[in-house]
Structure 1
Amino acid sequence: MSLNLPHVTTNLEDISPLVIGGAIFNTQYNDDPFSMPIKDLLLHGFENGINAIDTSPYYGPSEELLGQCLNSLINDDKLITRENFYICTKVGRLQLDDFDYSASWVKKSIARSLERLHTKYLDVVYLHDIEFVEEEGIMEALRTLMQLKKDGYIRNVGISGYPVEFLYKIASLCVDQPDIGCLDLVLSYSNMCLQNIKLGDWYDRFMTNTHIKLLNNASILSMSLLRSQETKSFHPCSQELKNTVSSLSKVLLAEHNVELAELATRFAIREWKSKKGKTVLGVSTKSELESALVQYRLVLSGEMDELDAKLYELSKSILGEHFNETWASGIAGR
């Protein structure tokens, strides 16, 4: 029996406030992504109003795993249709230090993503982690993506990356670039979270000067930093920041009986929802997704606003000089 979900539109603003992130369906975060309950997770998300998925070829088997699960939900279980959700993926990043922004690779990668995700079109394609590539290469890749948009394979084109200033610079430059023009959207990560609110500080400039339709926020736990468990070894931030966040986590739990990840989730969702941006969630299980949905509902209810405001100020105080601290990323971050 179909879930009778509403059809999505071509309007990016109709993407749900929460988006299921596919970066976590990868060995970087999980030892065996092939055994993860992705289908159940997706179904739970759809049943609770989430209508968008974010992934990338760079995320190991993520595209293939998501494509298999979505195809099964559509064609085997007949619970959803392709018109019920947005697919967002990326192009250009191959490995940790391997990028290919050439026109030939962009076309090949998009064709592969269409096949992997069992779809005739992609709702969103971001040029992945642009700060690692020279501007000439970025513009070439964007021209190719815009042509693929004209050809109907892509509905919206954007850029993703870490350094907020560089994302803004490229989005601004595109406005007057022949064969590119205004981008549709921009995605940054770890820059609108309990430890770093830089993306929020730049929101008005993005929306006013680059004419994008949507500014999205990913990795609200800053790639595992903002939780009580140990931060993943690949995290590029300073050890001092890791130690400070660990201290914050212990204070919140011992003195206020609050889990850092839950506070951080509520904070990021609350702040970004007020700006009408979308929040990409990295969750490994249905229970983790439900936990995030509980925090989302608490934000909507306003029940935690007063306490969270006090805990936010406490967090800023403990973070001290590490609040809004960033790390170098790519050519643009040197």
Structure 2
Amino acid sequence: MEYYTLPQTNLKASKIALGCMRIASKSVEEVEELVLTALNHGVNFFDHADIYGAGQSEVVFGEVLARNPNLRETMIIQSKCAIRPGICFDFSKEYILKSVEGSLERLQTDYLDVLLLHRPDALMDPKEVAEAFNELYELGKVHYFGVSNQKPSQIELLKKYCKQPIVINQLQFGPAHASMIDQGFYVNMEVPTAIDYDGAILDYCMLNDITIQPWSTIRETLNSETFIDNPEYPELNVVLETLATKYKVSKVAIVTAWILRHPSNMQPIAGTTSIKNLLDTLDAINVSLTREEWYQIYTANKVLP
């Protein structure tokens, strides 16, 4: 595994993180095996959210920590809050504090290394968010803060009031969901791919030392099926198969290597409960795609201007 210090932090993080959204349906023993395998292969960053499995994902992970109390100090644990069942989103100070307390209890830990605001809240009062961040930070319950699925102006609004830096933005990104890249090619062109969907978030994050964490990297949309071996993506799969054969790894590893090849130092999240799939993904660390190969993957579904 390769590591780097996340910008604006002192966290030495693995270049690939393990996403824990789907572990709620697994037994403690199964999750323990997954976590230990991840750690043994150098993964030290674990991504959670209070809504994953209605909290059960954090519960089962917390049981693993309780069984292995020495593991906590070797981990970077991140959780997310503010998607509120029945209401939608809630960035109020009261709800953020309540959510963090719930996550800490379920995870059986005293602190989160990172807390992300889970998607935007249209009713956000940035002053309230700042108050919540300050309290959590001063009490030592959260060390660093970030967001997910937010554009530059939303982050700037938070930065105006928050003393703590925004260090992470979690965004969907992959070969079939690459609008962040598209905008750089279709500048000043009157075509659909020129539409600015996110306020040039990629450039913004690079300029402001905010780490992008790609999620759902092998899907085109939030709810679509994977494009791996999917007949609806023939050109992309031909390229992935060719490169997977060349580098003797899986197609998922090639997709992950494609993300890691970008100079912004993204930290992809491997959202899997399968040890085989996790190990397949981690093979990406040993793959260094050429510039030509990176563009072969990127252009598999499109024609550049």
Identify whether the pair has TM-score above 0.5, normalized to the shorter chain: yes
Distance 1:214 1:106 in 2: 22
Counting only pairs closer than 5 Å after superposition, residues 210-225 of structure 1 correspond to structure 2 as 211-212=208-209, 214-222=211-219, 225=225
Structure 1 residue 316: deviation in Å? 3.6
Q: What amino acid is the match of 1:117?
A: L
Does residue 84 of structure 2 align to residue 94 of structure 1?
yes
Which residue of 252, 263, 276 maps to 1:261? 252
Distance 1:199 1:13 in 2: 26
Percent sequence identity is 19
Counting only pairs closer than 5 Å after superposition, residues 83-232 of structure 1 correspond to structure 2 as 83-95=73-85, 98-130=88-120, 133-134=121-122, 136-137=124-125, 139-161=127-149, 166-177=150-161, 180-191=162-173, 193-199=174-180, 202-208=201-207, 211-212=208-209, 214-222=211-219, 225-228=225-228
Q: CA 1:65/1:142 → structure 2, altered by over 3 Å: closer, same or farther?
A: farther
Q: What amino acid is the match of 1:214?
A: T
* C-alpha contact 2:62 2:108 (8 A) present in aligned 1: yes
Q: CA 1:218/1:206 → structure 2, altered by over 3 Å: closer, same or farther?
A: same
1:123-179: CA deviation from partner (whole Å, max 9, x where unpaired): 11101111xx21534553343133211221111111112xxxx431122222322xx
Q: Quick check: which one's strand share is greater?
A: 2
Aligned twin of 1:18: 16
Q: What amino acid is the match of 2:49?
A: S
* C-alpha contact 1:171 1:183 (8 A) present in aligned 2: no
* C-alpha contact 1:216 1:277 (8 A) present in aligned 2: yes
Distance 1:126 1:293 in 2: 24
* C-alpha contact 2:119 2:147 (8 A) present in aligned 1: yes
Distance 2:126 2:96 in 1: 11
What is the aligned residue count? 271
Q: CA 1:215/1:142 → structure 2, altered by over 3 Å: closer, same or farther?
A: farther
Structure 1 residue 253: deviation in Å? 6.8
* C-alpha contact 2:28 2:61 (8 A) present in aligned 1: no
Structure 1 residue 95: deviation in Å? 3.8
Structure 1 residue 117: deviation in Å? 0.6
Counting only pairs closer than 5 Å after superposition, residues 54-93 of structure 1 correspond to structure 2 as 54-60=47-53, 61-74=56-69, 80-93=70-83
Distance 1:256 1:293 in 2: 16
Q: CA 1:285/1:24 → structure 2, altered by over 3 Å: closer, same or farther?
A: same
Q: What amino acid is the match of 1:125?
A: L
Distance 1:214 1:91 in 2: 18
* C-alpha contact 1:160 1:167 (8 A) present in aligned 2: no
With normalisation by structure 2, the TM-score equals 0.76
Q: What amino acid is the match of 1:181?
A: K
- Unpaired runs of at least 5, structure 2: 1-7, 182-199
Structure 1 residue 46: deviation in Å? 1.0
Q: Which runs of 4 or more aligned residues in structure 1 lie more than 6 Å from their structure 2 counterparts after TM superposition?
A: 253-257
With normalisation by structure 1, the TM-score equals 0.70
- Unpaired runs of at least 5, structure 1: 1-9, 27-31, 75-79, 231-242, 324-334
* C-alpha contact 2:9 2:144 (8 A) present in aligned 1: no
1:11-36: CA deviation from partner (whole Å, max 9, x where unpaired): 3441221111112325xxxxx33488
Q: CA 1:152/1:85 → structure 2, altered by over 3 Å: closer, same or farther?
A: same
* C-alpha contact 2:19 2:270 (8 A) present in aligned 1: yes
Query: Matched residue of 1:81: which SS?
Result: helix
Distance 2:130 2:218 in 1: 29
Counting only pairs closer than 5 Å after superposition, residues 323-334 of structure 1 correspond to structure 2 as none
Structure 1 residue 249: deviation in Å? 4.8
Distance 1:292 1:14 in 2: 20
Counting only pairs closer than 5 Å after superposition, residues 304-323 of structure 1 correspond to structure 2 as 305-306=289-290, 309-320=291-302
Distance 2:91 2:155 in 1: 17
Q: CA 1:189/1:221 → structure 2, altered by over 3 Å: closer, same or farther?
A: farther
